[in-house]
Structure 1
């Protein structure tokens, strides 16, 4: 590993692997896919992409990655999870859909002190986009793409809420973090970041990935440059 430049892995079992790799490389970061424990051992940080979280849990076991990944997270490895990645990083996962009752469900990694509800906004046809104010990210509102997205139902005292949208059951002007009013869709706890949406799908805006790289640098003392942000005000 180069002390001047972090190596960021992308968990390459399912989901938007290519899009996350492209976003990281656009901002000048060394990025590589991770499928095996020996590949995980060579990276400084890891992105867990979207996909189907139950399937990803099974694949983590199949590729003998679950326990090595959980161990790295407990050691303080920075991680970022988008959509299903948020579910995997959570401490507790809820899913009340009738079709999944009685199934094994998701075995999460416990890296974030949050309770996450899977598929909280509905099915694929209920996917949507929203403009977000995102703490720690400057510039215009962040365009967020939600696809069968989860939400954070409860966040622990050490978790920082970064962004929210109106709750599916709450008033349109609700504030995130207030019971029945708003829905938490982005959080951070120490070196771990998670979003319910897919920033890798928004071409030309890599600010969430830039934030994650800053977190890596803060955590490990890396000093490598990141290409300048060219996101324009709108």
Structure 2
């Protein structure tokens, strides 16, 4: 079995921080900007950033179908904050001038953009996460929330009444920014899920 190589979508947002966290675990990382960059990966992280900008760049770089094909071929996906929005089936709260926001439609959830307020309302909280022995210092910055969770989608963490980390099969999404803390346990968890034969697309 080949060691996993994980990609980080590197169009916009906090992709460098994700790369640093993975590399601190000894994981090989590829920055993904084109569909051809997905070749040989086991997993792909869609980072936090600005979801409408990331969606526009996904269109500009013709990445929607390659990412869907990567997942269909067995690849694991993890979206954080804006990346979680891109994975979701239904997106609420997009600016009216943008109309309906494009998404990969790979996770049966409804996500509400900016559910916890504006940039000034950012906060960090000790969050219980299923699978971790101790709480995780979750950083919320203009964070979304999963307001509807479909059948077969597991809620791994909640903040108050809001689901903020979910997983369905090979797709994981977090509303917060695990890459902005030195705690690498969620990155280790994802890398462990990707410890499978390398996907070829």
Q: TM-score, normalised by structure 1?
A: 0.81
Partner SS state of residue 101, structure 2: coil
Q: Bigger relative contact order, structure 1 or 2, given CA contacts below 8 A and separation 6+?
A: 2
Matches within 5 A, 1:8-19: 8-19=6-17
The 1-side partners of 2:88 and 2:142 are apart by 17
Alignment partner of 1:59 out of 57, 60, 72: 57
Give the distance between the partners of 2:192 and 2:41, measured in 1 at CA. Answer: 16
Partner residue in 2 for 1:155: 149
Task: State the partner residue of 1:192.
Answer: 171
1:65-104 correspondence runs (5 A): 65-95=63-93, 100-104=95-99
The offset of 1:102, in angstroms, is 4.3
Larger Cα Rg: Structure 1 or Structure 2?
1
Contact 2:125/2:137 (8 A) holds in 1: yes
Q: State the match for 1:120 in structure 2.
A: 115
Deviation at 1:74, TM superposition (A): 2.8
User: Is the CA contact 2:42–2:197 (under 8 Å) kept in the aligned structure 1?
Assistant: no
Aligned to 1:26: 24
1:161/1:188 contact within 8 Å kept: yes
Deviations 1:43-88 (CA, angstroms, capped at 9, x unpaired):
2210000011111011011111111112222333101110001000
Deviates more, 1:66-75 or 1:126-135: 66-75
Match of 1:216 in 2: 194
2:135 corresponds, among 141, 146, 150, to 141
1:126-156 per-residue CA deviation (whole Å, 9 max, x = no partner) reads 1111111100122x21100000000000111
Aligned length: 198
User: Please, which of 34, 45, 48 is the counterpart of residue 47 of structure 1?
Assistant: 45
Unaligned runs of 5+ in 1: 167-181, 223-234
- 2:2 counterpart (1, 4, 15): 4
Runs of 4+ with deviation above 6 angstroms: none
Displacement of 1:104 after TM fit?
2.9
Structure 1 residue 41 displacement after superposition: 2.2
The residue number in structure 1 matching 2:103 is: 108
